Amino acid sequence: MADATVRLPGAAPADTYLRGDLVVKAAVAAGADAVHPGYGFLSENADFARAVLDAGLVWIGPPPEAIEAMASKTRAKELMGLAPLHEVTDADLPVLVKAAAGGGGRGMRIVRRLEDLDSALRSARAEAASAFGDGEVFVEPYLEGGRHVEVQILADTHGTVWPLGTRDCSLQRRHQKVIEEAPAPGLSEELIRELHTLAVRAARAVDYVGAGTVEFLVADGKAHFLEMNTRLQVEHPVTEAVFGIDLVAQQIRVAEGEPLEEDPPRARGHAVEARLYAEDPATDWTPQTGTLHRLTVPEGVRLDTGYEDGDPIGVHYDPMLAKIVAHAPTRPEALRKLASALERATLHGPPTNRDLLVRSLRHPEFTTARMDTGFYDRHLADLTKPTPDPHAPLAAALADAHGRSRFGAWRNVPSQPQTKRYAMAGEEHEVRYRHTRAGLEADGLRVVHADARLVVLEVDGVQRRFEVARYGDELHVNATRLTALPRFPDPTTQHAPGSLLAPMPGTVVRVAEGAVVGATVQAGEPLLWLEAMKMEHKVVAPRTGTLAALQAVPGQQVTVGLLLAVVRDT
């Protein structure tokens, strides 16, 4: 959608979007007169804001001094009369290790045992440095059972500050938001006024200008200040939908010096947003890579995405593919609208969290607004139970067989059935069908129609349609993803029991201190950490036994399925 683009050579964030000098140089080269920092990377970096201003460009954001005061979460807490923990004892547990710069859940770790604190600090520092170029972290008490509620603010250069309602972002994985909505449901009018007052106070304390978000943890009916994000939030579309405004357009107007109206517009209806990630929630939210062959959603919802059909999903950046937003007069209508749109979306490519999103939106704890930040800790196993369509493999086989039965290919005597094998939801499935004079025939089911893209089967007297798409060995039958398997497995791909294979492409960032050949390890014990898609991912021992081989070394680039280690029975 850009009128002009400037390439930043490199792939890793440290070589591209964390290089403020290159971004400013690109803006100047393109003839731009202003820079909008987006909502990641350097968007909360005061030095970058100054570099933009020093280059004679307009900075579409708050003053550098306001960024410095609030972008560091340690300084923000001090400004609000709070302070991080400097010494942690058993009495303080659980605690949260948190990156002082940036956001998005990176550089955050929950610590429930004192002996895990040092490891959490090291891991959080490394992740924060990689994502934000700043490894500073701090420790604060961790409040369990709370809701993540935030207030969108918009301030101009004339002293007006708008508190634009509330948002609830309690459904999170790895401290990253998954589903967000506006307004936050079930809050008392008194609590809403308190949240608005605190948010405006935070903005005025630093002479804030532009769009920002003040985040709170609401527990026991009280608001606990978390941080202020001096930038636009990923979830800003739900506020835009409810208030009928374009926050980015407003940011630009404020940067041009235009005043806001005295009062913000009225809120109307309810909006909910789901973040569609290329990841497998059932396997510790493992990010997925590959080609996004197709992404379409039904009309009536908003789709924000940076992907087009055929784009590769790489390992260097966030695994979020899109944000899908639904707006309706009431919360139940908005939830139903979004769940239906996700369910009917066409998603061809690597595994995604689509099924998790649909089930989350329909979960009774969420629909009745009784959720908190521990939602997925409690319900992930149930929400990720595989429910593939049992007829999908047959539909895939029949579509694949279309056109293979040519004139003269049938015989008068019954032929042996054709067989095909597919992997579906982690299991192998073998299906059988026959070519006859009447067409394709499958045991137990009547084949009403079959071609390369559409199969219609009669199941228990009901005709069901299966749309089939194939990309090499990857097949998509309606919403079910399958992989075609060879008739005879390749013996060279077999690994001995206890082999630990790379679950994703990435970089080995470190190996556990006790992970040496000959050491005894326990099932689930961390052996090494991979960095992929801007986050660290723990790789654990597949079984209890002796570490017989360790082939991973820090800095090593690995591909999916690469042998990292072998654990043998003691």
Q: Kind of pairing, strands 346-348 and 294-296?
A: antiparallel
472: which residues sit within 8 A by CB, 6+ positions away? none
439-441 and 290-292 beta bridge pairing: unpaired
Q: How many CB atoms lie within 10 A of CB 452?
A: 14
Please report where in the chains the tokens 């009018």 appear, as a residue. Answer: 189
How many CB atoms lie under 10 A from the CB of residue 294?
16
Q: Report d(CA 12, CA 18) in Å as an integer.
A: 9
> Residue 463 and residue 388: Cα distance in Å, rounded?
18
How many Å apart are CA 350 and CA 216, to the nearest integer? Answer: 35
Q: Could you tell me the two tokens for 398? A: 């029949």
- Judge whether 276 and 353 are in contact, CB under 8 Å: yes
Distance of alpha carbon 225 from alpha carbon 215, whole angstroms: 6
User: CA nearest 398: which of 343, 438, 345, 456?
Assistant: 456
Integer CA distances (angstroms), 448 to 419, 431, 440, 462, 480, in order: 20, 17, 9, 11, 21
Annotated active-site residue in 19, 231, 354, 470? 231
Do the beta carbons of residue 394 and residue 445 sit within 8 Å?
Answer: yes
Classify the phi-psi angles of 322: left when phi > 0, otherwise alpha if psi is within -120 to 50, otherwise beta. beta
> Strands 176-182 and 147-155: what pairing?
unpaired
Tell me the residue type at 87. E
Q: What is the dihedral of CA 421, 424, 426, 427, to 10 degrees?
A: -40
Take residue 373 and report the two structure tokens written for it.
């930040």
3-state SS assignment for residue 7: coil
Q: How many CB atoms lie within 10 A of CB 430?
A: 11
β-strand partners of 111: 95
Query: What whole-number distance in Å separates Cα of residue 235 and Cα of residue 353?
Result: 17
Nearest to 515 by CA among 554, 463, 470, 468: 554
What tokens were used for 78? 């001090």
Which residues have CB under 8 Å from 380's CB, separation 6+? 281, 282
Terminal-to-terminal C-alpha distance of the chain: 59
The verdict on whether 275 is a catalytic residue reads: no
CA 26/CA 228 separation, integer angstroms: 29
Instruction: Give the amino acid at 440.
Output: L
- In sequence order, the 6+-apart residues with CB closer than 8 A to the CB of 368 are none
Q: Which residues are catalytic?
A: 231
